[in-house]
Structures are given as C-alpha cells and as structure tokens.
Amino acid sequence: MAPQPRSLNGLVVAITGGARGIGLATARALVREGAKVSLGDIDAALAEREATALGTGNIGLPLDVTDRASFERFLDETEKALGKLDALINNAGVMHMERFLEEDDAAAIRQVDINLHGVIIGSKLALARFTARGSGHLVNIASSAGKFGIAGIATYSATKFAVVGLTEALRTELRGTGVQLSVVMPGIVNTELTDGVTGETRGVKPLNPDDVAAAIVEALQTGRFDVYVPKSLGSIWKTMAILPRRANEAIGRALKSDQVMLDPDKQLRAGYEQRARQSEPRLEAADAPAELPEKAEAG
C-alpha cells in the first residue's frame, strides 16, 4: 500500500520568483493546503501585494537570487516572520529566446546567474538549515529542457541540465540525512517565459501554471524526486534514453520539438525580454563580459 500523502498544514515554504507564474500558482496551491508561504521576488512591491492577497500569515519579500546576502536575508526574515523553514522552492528563472549565435553575452550570463547560480546559492543556504535539523525539503524547478536540449534556447537548456545534475548529485550526498529533494521538469508552460512561442509540439499540450503547482504540491506531500509535468514526459524520456541518437532526432523532428522554440514572435516577446533584462540589476543587455562589475559575494 502506498504511503499516505503528508499534510502540508502549517508548513513554512519559501518560494523564489514567487510573485508571478509558476511561483505564484504554487503559493496559492500551498495556501489552500494550509501552508504558510514567503514569496521572494526581485519585484518586491509585487511580492508584497500578492502575499497580502493570499491572506494573513503569508509574506512577500525582496530577493535577488544572484546575491548571497539577499538570499540569506530572505530566508532569515521568512523564519523570523513565519517560523522554521520546512521547504524551499527554487523557482526563479529567466529565459532569453534566441538562436545561439545571436544571443548576446549578457543574456547568457544572466541566465546562468539566475537559473543556476541562484539555485546553487539557495540550495546551500537552505540545506545548511535542513541538515542541521535532520528535516526539510528542497524543490528545484528545472524543465523538460533539462533533459532534452531545445533549439532556440540553448543557454537556458544548459542551465536546466545543470539544475537536474545538481539535484541528482545532492540526492546522493544527502542520503540518510532526513532531507528530501525534488527536481521538477515541466514541458512548455503558458507563462511570460513562453510569450511569443508560435510553434506546437505534437503529442504534448502546453501546460498552465496550476498544472505545475499541483505537481509541486504532490512532490511535497509524497517526497517524489523526479517530477515530470505532465507525467507522460517521464515515459517519453525513458524511451528516448535507450534509443540511438538518430532515432531520437527523428522523433524530435516528427514531434516538431526541434522547432517549437525557434523564431518566436519578437513583438509578442518584447515586454518579457525587457523585464528579463532588468531582473539582474547589475547587467545591462549590451554589456560585454569584460565590462561587468565584480560581485561582492560569489556564493
């Protein structure tokens, strides 16, 4: 008999990138389960407004995931206001959608800093708390692009492959500590990240943020490690993993997964791309790597 899902009532959950999209949908789902949530976001005012809308016992705080001091403050203030941290959901991320040779270096650095380095910093800070207590749950949001390299978002795919690998390595390191880990790998989700995507993948329908939120809630309840959304993606991955590369590529062409992120509508993406460029204050879109200021804290 499968174990009963654990109750999330009263649990304290911190969510990065919590003011929009998957992060906000997850916060709403967790509050319905009785959890208390802390929304961390670069847009502090929006995080505060959304936390207020969630009801008493939830908070919104400023958070720059690329800055260790900011991340530590976020977790400290979460625990001060809500109590012992039970789970961290590393959700914050950006996606610049360009062919690799057209992507400027600042866009690549931004994605690595936020999507990977931010997850590394958050994981270290949360796991230090969790291992000391012998309990806690770290949920890292990756992507199906962390299992299948996707044309048009090469750097984004690279960051998500890294998040999957990081979480798998941590699972081995932390075995027996009482800490639980999950890595969430959704397909295409209807959020701002995919604004302007005009292609379609055969056989896999676009998801809504609530679909991913439900899978995250289930992972917290059950302790599931590999969280594919939809679950059918797991079966697709297992099948493709044993096939020769040529067969894999032929399937990708048949499903049109090799084209779905290529050549988006740039006008429809313009608003998101501008906001994404502002999501790491130290970087401007035209900066060259040699001109970037040094971080005060490398994590």
- Residue from 156, 161, 228, 272 carrying the catalytic annotation: 156
Cα gap 272→266, rounded to integer Å: 10
Continuous segment of H or E residues that includes residue 226: strand 226-229
Cα gap 273→276, rounded to integer Å: 5
Tokens read off for 254? 């048949």
Number of H helices, E strands in the chain: 10, 7
156 is catalytic: yes
Task: Supply angle C-alpha 176, 181, 186, rounded to 5.
Answer: 155
Nearest to 155 by CA among 104, 220, 83: 104
- How far from the centroid of its chain's Cα atoms is residue 141's Cα? 3
Amino acid identity of residue 61, one-letter, is L
Give the residue numbers annotated as catalytic, written as ranges.
Answer: 156
